[in-house]
Amino acid sequence: MIFMVIMIILVIVLLSFSFKVVPQNYVGLVETLGKYSKSVNAGLTFIIPVFQNIRKVSLALQPYKISKYSIITKDNAEITTSLTLNYQVTDAYRYFYNNTNSVESMVQLIRGHMRDIIGRMELNEALGSTSKINNELFKAIGDLTDIYGITVIRVNVDELLPSPEIQKAMDKQLTADREKTAAIAKAEGEARHIELTTKAKNDALVATAKANAEAVKTQADAEAYRINKLQESLNKAGDGYFRNQSLDSFNKLAEGPNNLVILDKEDMTDLGKIPAVKKMWNADKK
């Protein structure tokens, strides 16, 4: 009776170890006496206790961070980089049996290609080409990780940092460039100010000259108009007007202290046109 009870307990224990549950998104690797025998999908699986064992491998997307490490650029500058990536196990057999540490092997592969890519770039190019490096790195590793049963879904360069010495030199250069830019901007501003001031003065001088010229022209036009009108009036005036003007002139001349007038013969003859002077001329002849 006791033997039967012991046998029942052993059977129950063996049955409890005979059924294994493979979780969702996992694959089970069944080993018989330490040797791979088959793969099983998620769900309830029966194995032979003691003789068989099951290893569970996740097929879910896995994030991984590659810690900082140094790389030398084409122009012998040292930079430190770190990466993050997402990978997925696509072949559980290769992942588990073909390599003692498939993830570490994948990381070493990525680091090697990263060194090769950045090693062909100069410092400034590398620092400004993060997206380009990401694309080249993803293409470079391609299907190479298949040997480890892994597929890299995404890889991203988190940072590219120059060494402290280079950073100091770059900061100094940046400061110098900013000061140079500020000096150039200030000089250009002053030159522009002088240019505008000079233009304003020249415009004022031109405007003044134009105004003066316009005033002179207006004055000349007025004078010409006055002379034309006067000439028209004189042309319309009769001989009596000119005789009266001559008499007035001689009267004013006679009233002055200097009443001696010298005239040529023709002018003397013209004086005869004035009646009063003609009488004086005839009386003198008698």
Q: What is the mean pLDDT of residues 62-86?
A: 91
The pLDDT, as a whole number, for residue 284 is 46
253 plus 187 within the same structural domain: no
Query: Quick check: 285 pLDDT over 70?
Result: no
**Segment 129-155 mean pLDDT:** 89
Q: Are residues 122 and 77 in the same domain?
A: yes
- Residue 101 sits in the same domain as residue 183: no
The average pLDDT across 49-64 equals 90
19 and 89 housed in the same domain: no
We report the CATH number of the domain holding residue 93 as: 3.30.479.30
| Segments forming the whole domain that contains residue 213 | 164-236
Q: Is the pTM of this model over 0.85?
A: no
Q: Assess whether 52 and 67 both reside in one domain.
A: no
Task: Give me the number of domains the chain comprises.
Answer: 4
* DSSP per-residue letters across 172-204: HHHHHHHHHHHHHHHHHHHHHHHHHHHHHHHHH
- Clarify whether residues 102 and 152 are in a common domain: yes
Q: Which of 109, 119, 118, 99 is nearest to 144 (CA)?
A: 109
pLDDT, residue 237, reads 59
pLDDT score recorded for residue 88: 94
Residues 160-217 pLDDT 10s: 888 777 777 666 666 666 777 777 887 888 888 888 888 888 888 888 888 888 888 8
Q: Specify whether 20 is located in the same domain as 93.
A: no
Q: In this structure, are 145 and 201 located in the same domain?
A: no
- At residue 232, φ and ψ (nearest 5 deg) are -60, -40
In the numeric block, which tokens belong to residue 232?
């028209």
Instruction: Output the pLDDT for position 282.
Output: 47
pLDDT digits (tens, 9 = 90+) for 162-171: 877 777 766 6
Tell which wins on pLDDT, 1 or 281.
1
221, 236, 251 — which closes off a domain? 236
